Amino acid sequence: MKRVGEWLEINIPENWANHTVFHILTKELGASKALVQKWNQMKAIRKNDQQADVNHRLHINDSLSLHLFKTEDYGVIPEQLPIEVLYEDDHMLIVNKQSGIDTHPNAPEQTGTLANGIAYYYQMNEQQLKVRHIHRLDKDTSGAIIFAKHDLAHTLLDKALEQRKIKRTYIAIAEGKLAQRKGTIDKPIGKDRHHATRRRVSPAGQRAITHFQVKHYIPDQQLSIVELRLDTGRTHQIRVHLSSIGHPIIGDVLYGAKKRIMNRQALHAAKVTLIHPLTGERVEVEAEFPKDMLPFL
């Protein structure tokens, strides 16, 4: 497949031949039924440069084209903010988020978020695209975040995240020495009814699984450098889980940190690994650590 102007062009291989457009888009490409219906209504599907219906059959070497790269509203107010790009192509963008900023606005008029900066980055690069984040990081957490550039990439990346095919590796600086060097925390997380933003381990909560490995222990400061991977994506999951075993992240006052040697939680999304949803290539990016964490690493 290749981009031709505003269209993604797919040359039908032998093993996709003799199937309908609908079958190929949903079963072979992985688009949702709702997305295919939307494309059909918007006349965004072509067969051999002619408008196609989803019930049309395709043959070997036919050309199937999707109008993916169209002009869209950003969805947020573009604002000049520093953006560190880790990976970019026609389908997705991965950036290194700074600490201290929200991933996206919580109200239409809000600015100062990573999404506002992404919109400005698109604008400066003559790309008028909707800003589509695939996952979020807490305001004070830094590191790698994935954005989709069109609706098909958004659907496929969302599905990959749900199926745990996108691997995210975090580094945290935790208080004390963990009893185990390596292990899994499997504790459900729910809302804390006594605090609007805090979460807690709760039998009535959603299942949450965090795998951890201690990479280094600093005895004179009684700090552990911990690598973590998530099987689930609950709000504040790593922060809640480390606090629940008696090792809160330094600077994380909300979850009981006593060491305030940093003015935020020392948590960084250090690496993202995935199979590209459209090219099939393995993509692995690492996000440089912020300056306030470097002295401990």
Query: Which domains does the chain show, CATH number per domain?
Result: 2-66 (3.10.290.10), 85-163 (3.30.2350.10), 169-265 (3.30.2350.10)
Q: Coil, helix or strand for 193?
A: coil
Phi/psi for 169 (5° steps) reads -110, 130
Percent of the chain with pLDDT over 90: 92
Determine the pLDDT at residue 261. Answer: 87
Which active-site residues does the annotation give? 138
Mean pLDDT across 177-205 = 94
Q: How high is the pLDDT of residue 108?
A: 83
259 has pLDDT over 90: no
Q: Quick one: pLDDT at residue 84?
A: 97
Overall average pLDDT of the 215-240 stretch: 95
Residue 77 has pLDDT above 90, yes or no: yes
Residue 119 has pLDDT above 90, yes or no: yes
Band the pLDDT of 233: cuts 50, 70, 90. confident
Q: What is the mean pLDDT of residues 270-287?
A: 97
- What's the rounded mean pLDDT across residues 14-26? 94
pLDDT at 5: 93
pLDDT of residue 83: 96
Give Cβ neighbours of residue 223 (< 8 Å, ≥ 6 apart): 173, 174, 175, 176, 217, 250, 259, 296
**Residue 166 tokens, joined:** 């996108």
| Secondary structure (3-state) at 172 | strand
- Give the pLDDT confidence score for residue 64 in this predicted structure: 96
CA distance 235 to 229: 14
Please say if the pLDDT value at position 8 is more than 90.
Answer: yes
pLDDT at 196: 86
For residue range 157-167, list pLDDT tens digits in order: 999 999 999 99
User: Is residue 251 scored above 90 in pLDDT?
Assistant: yes
Cβ proximity of 137 and 235 under 8 Å: no
**Residue 182 CA, distance from chain mean position:** 25
The answer to whether residue 144 scores a pLDDT higher than 90 is yes
Instruction: Pull the structure tokens for residue 188.
Output: 């459900």
Q: What is the pLDDT of residue 292?
A: 93
User: What confidence score (pLDDT) does residue 252 get?
Assistant: 95
Does residue 297 surpass a pLDDT of 90?
no
User: Which phi and psi (to 5°) does residue 278 adopt?
Assistant: -115, -30
From the CA atom positions of the chain, what is the Rg in Å? 22
Cβ density class 35-63: b for 16+ within 10 Å, e for less: bbeebbeeebbbbeeeebebebebeeebb
Mean pLDDT of 166-182: 96
- The CA distance from 90 to 86, in Å, is 14
